[in-house]
Amino acid sequence: MLATKLALVRRLALGSSLLLAFACGSDPGTDDTSDGGAPGTGGAGTGGNAGGNPAIGGGGGTGGAGDLPSPYSACYPFDQPQTRELRAAPKKVLAFYYPMFPISIDNADPSMDFWNRWMDPAGGNGEYGSIGGLMRDRPLPRAPWDDEAWRQRDFETEIRRAIAVGLDGFIYEHPDHVAQDPRNNQLPTMLDAAAAVDPDFKIMLSPDFPGGEGASTDGLVETIGNAASHPSVYRLDDGRIPLASFAPQRQPVSFWIEVRDRLAAEKGVDVTFWPFLAPTPPNDTVYEEWNDLVDTYSSWGGRTVGAAEQQRLWSLEAHSRDRGWMSPVAFEDVRHKIGNTPDEGRWYAEASNSGALRAQFEKAIEGEADAVALLTWTDYTESWMNVSQERGYAIPDLVAYYTVWLKTGEQPPVVRDSLYYFHRNQHTDAPYDTGMQTEGPMELKHSGPAENQVELLAFLTEPGELVITQGDDVQTMDAPAGMTSFRAPLVAGTTPSFELRREGAVVRQLTSNTAIRSTVDYQDMMYHAGGGLDCERPD
């Protein structure tokens, strides 16, 4: 049965005219932030320009007839265009894939696998006992594969899920050398997985590099040269391969010019750069030394509502230089881990429930960004957006909505009522057990004050009454048709439930999978999430 389902979903991704019959049922049981307002609430919102930087390639793609909605639409409150139609749009949406955290590390039973060791404070002989685990979330667990090619099969699963969201590809980080950790040596496997699932789902190269002064370009030239001929590598329409490295300013521009020139001379490979430069307010001189090297600018960005406006301004600046802009979008940044520097671990930024993601996407649309980079898809120790154990499909579903908005220039009309929730499992000031969490408290950084709210994000086909219930606390709101964010103060000692009512009757109801605790053993500052429509998802 599993093999049959996999083959069916693969046929869909490869552009068969087959329409999968989804079963759709009821919902299952440094930056200042704004004042907590909810971007995108109700109304039509602003649309983006359907045009864009003509240098950005990757068009075409698979899918069925353009006048029919995608069969993935049953999972969403809106009708998603066919994959072919989304791929043909000039604007691109790519997810940054961090290879250290794939679906499985060791192909073991999830109850005792390496992910379990990371998340269990007692795992690994108590290695993370002082902080309550390395992270608080993980990819959706799976049973072990009886297959030596399990790493590629896992990549294929993640690619099918990404296609269902509407993504054009992954930005895949890889080292410039053979690493001791096998997770860092899987670029060929990822490329083969993309080719097996959908030849038009592309992998943009994000090569890591030596950071020391006077470092050699040899490794980069060899690694990129070896991968360049693979058909799944992302190329622009003119054949150039964009390189999207993180913080490339750690080496001078001359280093990257040498990489470009050596690849052309020694490997016959033409490259350009889509660099994730360090966040900074834009002006006409910032990073001007990169102008002649860069095709499309980008930034690692912030993780708050307030950070979104800077990305819109950067889009305007990049376009004034006749360059493209790939706008960063993230859900949050929360780091329970211990870091080597004060900024690497033990802090969180206030994301305002789903507010940061929505604000950043909407500013990308308003600023007519040429592409969006989701930062990141899989770094579960900092910022992740992929389907996961603690959030389900809530964040990918929201990404799918904004992807259609960005690519078509029109906010998708809601055709199916759907409810999602976003909230922490504790108040940010809730006491914790100092005898267990001995590393001290999590610190709030790079944002405004902490917000302790429960959010109901509702997609309504027509006006209705929204209800958030936390024990004896009941909050209501009359909401218009469209997307509405309704927030209420978090109430400890309860498990929130949510309703959509019309004319006094309950139309939709949803109970959170996450209880809100009054006291905790270990702090958990991530936003938990859930909700959506019952449907058959790609696996």
Per-residue pLDDT tens for 416-459? 999 999 999 999 999 999 999 999 999 999 999 999 999 999 99
Give the mean model confidence (pLDDT) for residues 311-321: 98
Does 390 or 30 have the greater pLDDT score? 390
Helix or strand holding residue 489 (H, E): strand 482-489
Pick left, alpha or beta for residue 58 (phi over 0 → left; psi -120 to 50 → alpha; otherwise beta). left
pLDDT surpasses 50 at 62 = no
Given a cut of 80, whether residue 258 has pLDDT beyond it is yes
HEC sequence for 120-134: CCCHHHHCCCCCCCC
12-51 pLDDT per residue, tens: 333 332 233 333 333 333 333 333 333 333 333 333 333 3
For 90-146, the pLDDT digits (tens) are 999 999 999 999 999 999 999 999 999 999 999 888 999 999 999 999 999 999 999
Rounded-to-integer distance, Cα 301 and Cα 298, Å: 8
pLDDT in tens, 177-228: 999 999 999 999 999 999 999 999 999 999 999 999 999 999 999 999 999 9
pLDDT value for 125: 86
Strand partners, 469: 474, 497
Size of the chain, expressed as the number of residues it contains: 539
Name the pTM for this structure.
Answer: 0.88
β-strands 92-97, 169-174: how paired? parallel
pLDDT at 342: 83
* Block residue for tokens 């007839």: 65
For residues 236 and 295, the answer to whether their CB atoms sit within 8 Å is yes
The secondary structure of 134-173 as a DSSP string is S-S--BPP-PPPSSTTHHHHHHHHHHHHHHHHT--EEEEE
Q: Under DSSP, is residue 294 helix (H, G, I), strand (E, B) or coil? A: strand
Q: What pLDDT shows up at residue 67?
A: 60
Give the pairing of strands 453-460 and 418-423. Answer: antiparallel
Q: Cα–Cα distance between 13 and 538 in angstroms, integer?
A: 10
pLDDT in tens, 163-173: 999 999 999 99
